[in-house]
Amino acid sequence: MSWNKIICSHKELQLFGTLNGGQSFRWNYDKINDEWVGVFSRTVWKLKQNDDHIQYQVIGSLIKEFDTKDSISYEKLLKDYFRLDLNLVKYYKEWSEKDELFQTACQQFYGIRMLRQEPVENLFSFICSQNNHISRISSMVEKLCTHYGDEICTTDGVTYFSFPQVEKLAVCDVESKLRQLSFGYRAKFIQKSAAQIVEWGGERWFNNLQDMKYKDAKQELMKLHGIGPKVADCICLMSLNHLDALPVDTHVYQIAAQNYLPHLRGKKNVTDKMYTEIGDHFRKLYGDMAGWAHTVLFCADLKKFQQNDDIKCESQKKRRKK
Average pLDDT of the segment spanning 58-78? 84
Report how far residue 49's alpha carbon sits from residue 38's, in angstroms, rounded to the nearest whole number.
14
Domains and CATH numbers, the chain: 4-85 (3.30.310.40), 117-242 (1.10.340.30), 243-322 (1.10.1670.10)
Report how far residue 9's alpha carbon sits from residue 232's, in angstroms, rounded to the nearest whole number.
32
* 2 pLDDT higher than 90: no
Average pLDDT of the segment spanning 122-148? 95
At 58, is the secondary structure helix, strand, or coil? strand
At 234, is the secondary structure helix, strand, or coil? helix
- pLDDT band for position 131 (50/70/90)? confident
The b/e string for 238-273 (b: 16+ C-beta within 10 A; e otherwise) is bbbbbbbbbbbeebbbebbbeeeeeebeeeeebeee
Strands 35-40 and 27-30: antiparallel
pTM (2 d.p.)? 0.90
Identity at 140, one-letter amino acid code: M
Q: What is the pLDDT of residue 282?
A: 97
Inter-helix orientation angle 229-239/290-321, to 10°: 120
Question: Which DSSP symbol is given to 154?
Answer: E
Report how far residue 260's alpha carbon sits from residue 254's, in angstroms, rounded to the nearest whole number.
10
230 as an active site residue: the answer is yes
Q: What is the pLDDT of residue 311?
A: 27
Q: What is the pLDDT of residue 114?
A: 97
At 8, is the secondary structure helix, strand, or coil? coil
| Span 261-295, pLDDT tens digits | 999 999 999 999 999 999 999 999 999 999 999 99
135: Cα within 13 Å, side-chain hemisphere: 0
CB 261 within 8 A of CB 276: no
* 21 pLDDT higher than 80: yes
CB 270 within 8 A of CB 279: no
Report how far residue 278's alpha carbon sits from residue 226's, in angstroms, rounded to the nearest whole number.
22
Report how far residue 175's alpha carbon sits from residue 306's, in angstroms, rounded to the nearest whole number.
33
Average pLDDT, the chain: 91
CB 73 within 8 A of CB 61: no
Task: Give, in degrees to the nearest 5, the angle at Cα 270 between 266 and 273.
Answer: 115
CB 96 within 8 A of CB 293: no
Q: Which of 31, 64, 230, 312 is catalytic?
A: 230
| Span 229-259, pLDDT tens digits | 999 999 999 999 999 999 999 889 999 999 9
H runs (alpha helix) in 40-199: 71-81, 88-98, 100-108, 119-128, 134-148, 166-169, 174-180, 186-199
Task: List 216's β-bridge partners, or say none.
Answer: none
